[in-house]
Amino acid sequence: MVTHSQPAPAATQRHEPRRGLFIDGQMVDPGPRALMTIISPGTGATIAEVLEATAGDVDRAVASASDAFRSRDWRGLSARTRARLVNKLADVMDAHLDELFELETLNNGRPIRETRAQLARVPDLFRYNAALAMARRDDVIPVEGEYLTYTRRLPVGVVANVTPFNHPLLIACRNLAPTFASGCTTVVKPSEYTPLTTLRLAEIFAAAGLPPGVFNVVTGGGAVTGRALSEHPGIRKLVLTGGTEAGRRAGAAAASNFARQTLELGGKTPVVVFDDYDLDQAVNYAAFGAFVGAGQTCVCAARHIVQRRLYDAFVEKLAAKARAIAIGDPFAPDTQMGPVISERQRQRVLDFVRIGREEGARLVAGGRVPPALAANGGFFIEPTVFADVAPHMRIFQEEVFGPFTVVTPFDTEDDAVRIANDSPYGLAAAIRTRDVARAHRVADRIDAGIVWTNDHHRVDAASPWGGFKQSGIGREFGKEAFDAYFDVKAVMVNVGDQPFDWFDMAAAQPRLN
């Protein structure tokens, strides 16, 4: 039976002040302007009010970032000096983690245990990128003739960083780290649901010595603030994590100004479970992959494709595991799953429960608002599992973005790969098997930018992250992400002293170019 913890005591129900934008190294007083309310999904209570930035506000933020990019205080730093500053930011963030844990849990509803485990690793993103900045070398290229040819890598300029509600600080920082280490500057637009930790981090970094204008924050929704930022002619790179349709619109706007792009978009992660894998371990990974973050991750284990010999037992045990998950107050130490971000998102999950039933799938766990939490104001929903799901069904094909997973049987390895690839998405996939050769073989055949074998949702600063197909373009994390913050300039120097006159018809010119 699903267990529930009651709302947190008053001491943990913090209320943040009215918050403005963060531009040019300082918080902008919101003054008499209309504000958006920020809701804690664990209680439904208002915890803060923030500005919705206008196109004029975005202009000011981009201008601040552009000025900082050209300033001696930032552009004039040597790579080693900048790396030392980025390492200092990591240390300062470490010192403020307790505050950031609590604020993020308050704002997005993830259990404090999850938030603490995730954010504790974020400072190392800055250390890793600082190391890349220290280790960076340009190339000398052998070419035909008496020429010295070498490359220079130059930071691209102002980066627009549009972040989602599910991992507000992690996703902001996985792009802030290479932005700062490369010498770029940024304007961040956090989700309109979860701006509080990003605003606070900007204050913390400014106090630590990050020059004004290097890190600006504009708050607001996608229709006004996000659009103004994405289409702004002053940005040279757009980094966005969000839904596929949001990425398509923002990407088209940025492309009109020839800004480069890194887009991490939707997903419908397949998990292929072969019958040589331990059943209990497969179920434990399934529950983790499907229900961590209340399923609100682009790599949620959304489609479990299970070999038929294990299928019935897997369904039974996963349903029991889902029913045993403790749902409730995100601040309670025994809570295992918190709410989804909003009433709108909860209704989307409930709509897919209805769709799954209408399509003929078998609901084996969840599918309801927990009765014990129905009146507390938070946006809770039970972990939900459907079995006997066919690949043509909407619940198999469409991203739900909640604690919702489906189970489908397969017979052969070829069947498993075909079913796994039957999706418009290709962000991540997972394989459960003890057969090493099969693990590598199937990993090669699955259309996904990230494949985990006998694990799920594992992230490392050095490992590239990004998708195929409608799951986006470009990569985050790793050297691949760092390199994408630079333009490459080729310099060719003629070191010979041979006379040259192309238009001297008597001279023998061996080549035109």
**pTM of this prediction exceeds 0.85:** yes
Distances in Å between the Cα of 384 and the Cα atoms of 353, 458, 505 are 8, 23, 81
Domain boundaries in the chain?
9-265+480-490, 269-453
In percent, the amount of the chain with pLDDT more than 70 equals 96
Superfamily holding 269-453: Aldehyde Dehydrogenase; Chain A, domain 2 (3.40.309.10)
At 216 the pLDDT is 98
At 512 the pLDDT is 67
Task: Count other Cβ atoms within 10 Å, centred on residue 211.
Answer: 18
Which residues are identified as catalytic? 264, 298
Name the band, by pLDDT with cuts 50, 70 and 90, for residue 12: very low
The Cα 191–Cα 183 span in angstroms is: 25
Contacts of 229 (CB under 8 A, 6+ apart): 58, 62, 160, 162, 187, 189, 218, 235
User: What DSSP line would sit under 273-297, residue for residue?
Assistant: E-TTS-HHHHHHHHHHHHHGGGG-S
Least confident of 56-60, 139-143, 292-296, 496-500: 496-500
The Cα 139–Cα 46 span in angstroms is: 54
Contacts of 256 (CB under 8 A, 6+ apart): 231
Which residue from 506, 269, 313 is spatially nearest to 409, judged by alpha carbons?
Answer: 313
Select the CATH number that applies to the domain covering 9-265+480-490 from these four: 3.40.50.1220, 3.40.605.10, 3.30.70.590, 3.40.50.300: 3.40.605.10
At 311 the pLDDT is 98
pLDDT at 6 over 90: no
Which residue from 175, 168, 171, 166 is spatially nearest to 197, judged by alpha carbons?
Answer: 168
Name the band, by pLDDT with cuts 50, 70 and 90, for residue 15: low
Which residue from 298, 294, 319 is spatially nearest to 427, judged by alpha carbons?
Answer: 298
At 509 the pLDDT is 66
At 503 the pLDDT is 86
The Cα 114–Cα 330 span in angstroms is: 9
pLDDT at 306 over 80: yes
Between 145 and 63, residue with greater pLDDT: 63
Q: What is the DSSP letter of 363?
A: E
The Cα 206–Cα 91 span in angstroms is: 14
Q: What is the mean pLDDT of residues 310-323?
A: 98
Phi and psi angles of residue 179, each rounded to the nearest 5 degrees, phi first = -60, -55
List, for residues 357-382, the tens digit of each pLDDT value: 999 999 999 999 999 999 999 999 99
Task: Count other Cβ atoms within 10 Å, centred on residue 11.
Answer: 7
Q: What is the mean pLDDT of residues 26-40?
A: 90
E-state strands within 79-202: 140-141, 147-155, 158-162, 185-189
pLDDT at 166 over 60: yes
pLDDT at 265 over 50: yes
Task: Count other Cβ atoms within 10 Å, centred on residue 390.
Answer: 13
Q: What is the mean pLDDT of residues 212-241?
A: 97
pLDDT at 8 over 50: no
Q: How wide is the angle at C-alpha 14 spanned by C-alphas 8 and 16, nearest 5°?
A: 155
Residue 506 burial by CB count (10 A; 0-12/13-18/19+): exposed, middle or buried?
Answer: exposed
pLDDT at 469 over 90: yes
At 506 the pLDDT is 79
Give the pair of three-digit tokens for residue 169: 């600080």
pLDDT at 4 over 70: no
